[in-house]
Amino acid sequence: MGSVARIILQRLGLGLLTLLVVSIVIFTAVNSLPGDFAQAILGQGATEEAVAAIRTDLGLDKHPVVRYFEWLGKALRFDLGTSFAAANFASFAGADTGSGLGSVAAQIGPRFANTMFLAGVTAMIAVPLSLILGILAALYRNTVFDRLANIFTLSSISSPEFFLAYILILFLAVLNPLLPSLSNIYDGMSFGERLNRTMLPALTMTLVVTAHMMRMTRAAIINLLASPYIEMARLKGISPMRVIVKHALPNALAPIINVIALNLAYLITGVVVVEVVFVYPGIGQLFVDSVKIRDIPVVQACCLIFAAAYILLNLLADILSILSNPRLRHPK
């Protein structure tokens, strides 16, 4: 167990170092975006003095290195800063900006919860579906079912998310009005209604991620079917389905876990296009809206959350792969 703990600590340290490097990339990239928030809210006819005053109020006149370390220090204390747009609106409305009205966390909190709900619904559909399809494709490999499953998954994985989204809208919302085309989620709605309005974007993302997981499941199982212990199980008269489920699948978990974790990370970090198409009030939609108005603190916070979720799920995949590998759990 000491060896496993050491490997896990190494992965954790590498993940924290990666997140630090990513934070530098995020800050540099976001602050290199063309345009200026102060100029955007005042318009082209604004005087240089007015623009400079707003930049001073927002701290944009400080050196980028100073602003980075200030942002990083606050992020380490789970303070994501103050939204430029919300703070500006509060100042015009006469509200106290220190009351939390312009807090980035206050804006991201409900949006992130919506994104996690969408990701959860998608995972509940995609993971079992991909495992079942992968097992059946391995069991009936080189048959019509196997070829059709591969054609379907390759077609879905080769199509952009927005194209799949519009195809589903056409067939499930326009020609056959079974589901709403817009996912206007709001607080206080029932779980059933919320699920109904989330189903169309969830189905879109399911089509995207199922292909990866299904094909990896199929490949990992087929790779083990030629192993001696599988041949022995067959010679004992065990049914092909039981051979795959009881003997092949447990030993194929490591690559399958990795690809599932990567696709779960996509469900959180890759939702931007899907949320924009369906006007889903998640963190992806907030990210796009904030980029449009150059609300730098919100953009930075969204990017940091995306990066942290991706790194965390990759770290979880590494740990689960280690725990599922007897050679690492019981070193010689």
Sequence-distant (≥ 6) Cβ neighbours of residue 39 within 8 angstroms: 46, 51
Report which of 310, 201, 319, 193 is spatially closest to residue 254, judged by C-alpha positions.
Answer: 319
Specify burial of residue 221 (Cβ count, 10 A radius: 0-12, 13-18, 19+). Answer: buried
Domain coordinates in residue numbering, the chain: 105-329
Q: Does domain 105-329 have CATH number 1.10.3720.10?
A: yes
Report which of 125, 118, 121, 126 is spatially closest to residue 183, judged by C-alpha positions.
Answer: 118
Instruction: List Cα–Cα distances, 332 to 37, 84, 100, 101, 326, in angstroms.
Output: 60, 57, 56, 58, 11
Q: How far apart are CA 209 and CA 120, in angstroms?
A: 13
Reading the chain (332 residues) residue by residue, the pLDDT tens digits are: 566 677 778 888 888 899 899 999 988 888 777 766 676 666 666 677 777 787 787 777 788 888 888 888 888 888 888 887 765 554 444 444 444 456 888 889 899 999 999 999 999 999 999 989 988 888 888 889 888 988 888 888 888 888 989 999 999 989 888 888 888 888 888 888 999 999 999 999 998 888 888 888 888 888 887 778 877 878 787 888 888 878 777 777 778 888 888 888 888 887 888 999 999 999 989 998 888 877 888 888 999 999 888 888 888 887 777 777 666 565 55
Report which of 184, 216, 244, 209 is spatially closest to residue 125, judged by C-alpha positions.
Answer: 209
Do residues 328 and 3 touch, judged by C-beta distance below 8 A? yes
Name the pTM for this structure: 0.83
Specify burial of residue 308 (Cβ count, 10 A radius: 0-12, 13-18, 19+). Answer: middle
